[in-house]
Amino acid sequence: MLKPLIWQDLPFGELLQAEIEAKLAPWWPRIFGYHLLKAGALSSQLNSLHCNIARHFSVYDGVDASIQADPHHLPLQQSAIDAVLSCFLLEF
């Protein structure tokens, strides 16, 4: 199986995305900090609007990413990220 770039690339991907968003919804208001990193293309597509963290950005090798880079080798300073969302990144 190739690395999925959108949820629809996975079997039942839209349902899986909706379930993950539903499970994360009660947790977003409890997460604090300044920077939320969404690692990988799938993570970048999840709704995090109810998160209290002001700056949300994504890292993956696609043109829509906030930072175009390999999410397995993050080009970020130590202690710069307060929270990370990573969905199915290690599996592919």
> Given a cut of 80, is residue 1 above it in pLDDT?
no
Within a domain: residue 73? yes
- Extract the tokens encoding 40: 């990988």
Within a domain: residue 16? yes
> Given a cut of 90, is residue 92 above it in pLDDT?
no
pTM of the model: 0.88
Domain count, the chain: 1
pLDDT tens sequence across 7-57: 999 999 999 999 999 999 999 999 999 999 999 999 999 999 999 999 999
pLDDT at 13: 96
Which one has a higher pLDDT value, 58 or 76? 58
Q: Could you tell me which residues are beta bridge partners of residue 55?
A: 35
Within a domain: residue 5? no
Within a domain: residue 75? yes
Q: Which residues of 15-48 are buried (b: 16+ CB within 10 A; e: fewer)?
A: eebeebeeebeeebeebeeeebbbbbbbbbbeeb
Count of residues making up the chain: 92
Q: Could you tell me which residues are beta bridge partners of residue 36?
A: 56, 83
